[in-house]
Every structure is written in C-alpha cells, then in structure tokens.
Amino acid sequence: MITVLCGGVGAAKFLEGLIALDQSQEIVAITNVGDDDVMHGLYICPDLDTITYTLSGAVNHQTGWGLANESWRTMERLKGLGGKVWFQLGDLDLATHLFRSERLREGATLEQVTKEISDNAGLKLKLLPATNDKIRTKLELVHPSGETESTSFQEYFVKYQHKPIVKDVFYVGSKSASLSPSVIEALEESERIIIAPSNPILSIGPILAIPKIAETIARRRSDVVAISPIVDGKALKGPADKVLEAFGYPASALGVAQYYRDYISRLIIDQIDSNSIDQIESLGVRVVATNTIMTTIDSKISLAALALTSYER
C-alpha cells in the first residue's frame, strides 16, 4: 500500500503518474477537506472532485479543475436572480454536489459518498477524505486597501483570487477531527507515504493539523517523501509561495523542507533548485533533484517512480 497526502490539481497530476506506473501496490489518496464548503445548500469538496475528475479523464484541461464540455446555464440564470456567482458551478459539476449533498443528508459519511463517486468514475485508487468530520480552513486576510477580513478558503482563493496578503491560517475543527478505520489503516500499513506537490500550508496543512495524522506521519518520517510544489522560488499554481513567506518560510524548496522537516526524511525538488540541496540536507532531509514539472504523462510517471525509489537514496 502506498499513501499519498493530497490537495487538488498538483496531487491529481501526481496520482495520474502513480496509477500509470502500474506498480503492484494499492494506492490510497488521503485528501484535504479544509477547502470544503457549503454553497447554496450544496456540499462542495473541491480537492476530492479535482482528483476524481482528473483521474477519470473528465477534467477540464484548460483550468485543471471542473469538467470538460461544461455549460453554465444554471449560473447564468442565478446571476440574473442576483445570486452569488463568484464560485462557479457548472451544470455537469452540479450533479456531483447534488449527489453528495443528498447522500450526506441520508446519513452517509463523506468517505462513503466519496467511494460511491470514485467507484462510479472507475478510479483505480482508494480516495479518502482526511476525515469525515468538518475541518474548515479560515484565513485572516489583509486586502490591498489595508482592510482586514476573516474568510473561508474559497473566498480567499476564488472570490479574491488569492490576491490579499494572508496574515494567519486556522484549521477550524482539526483538533477534534477523528479518523476513519480506512485512514488509520493507510497511515499505519502503507509501505511508503508521499506528500504530493500541493500547497504545504493550505492543502497539506489541514491534513497535518489533525493531531493523530501529524503524530503518525512524524513517527513514520523515515518512510515519508514530499515533492516540492515550489520551483525556482515560485508556486507552479496558486499562492503556495506567498503563503509560505507569510508564515516566515522562504518561498523556495528550502522553505518547503523547513515546513515539512518533522514529517519527511526525503524531499524531491526540481533540478533548477539544486543549489539548495546542501541547506536542505542539513535539516536532516535527503534530497532528490529531478524535473518536477508534470506536463506530459511520461513526466508524471517518472516523478511517481522517483518518489517510490527515493527511499533507496
């Protein structure tokens, strides 16, 4: 069994490679739920859906999220009604949220619904929410105007397009979140644990904020490898670089290593960042430098293969 701690887009691409690698072990994706939100009464799980859509080949490749061949009739009419439309829900995408919301109301756990959706999509991995309990990532923002605001992740990320400065992040509910037997089994029994190239603070942070997960990952540090989502001082997507800096870490592979140092024994960084190898290894983290930019299926497979062999280095 191989367990991957996952955010959305970057994790989904990495999982594509890991699945295509076709190694013999079961793959388990323990996925961030801190971005989950209720919109218009519907239960939205952006990271779970991005992984499902990507791995089933249904994703919109232009955006990296949402569905291909999407239409927006509901949103267009909602706009006419004066409704909230900054979080765009496509007509096809809506079906996922209707299905999930109904099943949750019927008493299913998020893990059960996620299994139903991922089985329906034919996914060749076990997709698990980090917890069935509610964790919500809350941000303290400073707008360009100087005004401060406390927001949900989606407000920061989508409504404000991650432009405000992040002063602080809270993972509300994480301390009391419980783990399902499947999550515990994956964390304890997996031969290797991989932290996907996702936003350390905003995507992996909510997972590590669950005390039982943090303890287990720290205890299994020698089996844990992360892939840096920061290349040449910049996030490949989203605000990971800015948020690391806001928390006092350098916006670099070194910053990622500093953030994860208690949890990982190995870090895969981009070859362009090779000059930071010595500094990272001085933290007690072995470094493997390679091409980490996943543009083709071959580059995804290579990165996944390297993550599995990195322990031998």
Sign of the C-alpha dihedral, residues 266, 52, 47, 242?
positive
Instruction: Give the range of 77-85, 135-143, 176-184, 262-270 binding its own copies by CB under 8 A.
Output: 77-85
Instruction: Give the range of 24-32, 75-83, 150-158, 237-245 binding its own copies by CB under 8 A.
Output: 75-83
Which residue, 56, 60, 293, 285, is CA-closest to 197? 293
State the nearest-atom distance from the C-beta of 33 to its own copies, in Å: 17
**Is the Cβ of residue 75 or residue 184 nearer to its own copies in the bound state?**
75
> Is 159 a residue that touches its own copies (CB under 8 A)?
no
Q: Is 286 helix (H, G, I), strand (E, B) or coil?
A: strand
State the nearest-atom distance from the C-beta of 181 to its own copies, in Å: 24
State the nearest-atom distance from the C-beta of 219 to its own copies, in Å: 38
Question: Rounded CA gap, 300 and 19, in Å?
Answer: 10
State the nearest-atom distance from the C-beta of 83 to its own copies, in Å: 4
**Is the Cβ of residue 61 or residue 105 nearer to its own copies in the bound state?**
105
Q: Is 156 helix (H, G, I), strand (E, B) or coil?
A: helix
Which listed residue (1, 20, 21, 92) binds its own copies by CB under 8 A?
A: 92
For 182-229, give the DSSP string: HHHHHHHH-SEEEE-SS-IIIIIHHHHTSHHHHHHHHHTGGGEEEE-S
Type and span of the H or E element at 115: helix 110-120
- Residue 101, classified by CB atoms within 10 Å of its CB into exposed (0-12), middle (13-18) or buried (19+), is middle
Which listed residue (23, 25, 38, 271) binds its own copies by CB under 8 A?
A: 38
Question: Rounded CA gap, 310 and 308, in Å?
Answer: 6
# residues contacting its own copies (CB under 8 A): 34
State the nearest-atom distance from the C-beta of 74 to its own copies, in Å: 5
Contact call for residues 192 and 304 (beta carbons, < 8 A): no
Question: Rounded CA gap, 46 and 87, in Å?
Answer: 11
State the nearest-atom distance from the C-beta of 48 to its own copies, in Å: 14
State the nearest-atom distance from the C-beta of 79 to its own copies, in Å: 8
Site string for its own copies, 94-133 (x = CB under 8 A): xxxxxx-xx-xx----------xx--x-------------
**Is the Cβ of residue 97 or residue 192 nearer to its own copies in the bound state?**
97
- Which residues bind to its own copies, rule: CB under 8 A? 38-43, 71, 73-78, 80-84, 89, 91-92, 94-99, 101-102, 104-105, 116-117, 120
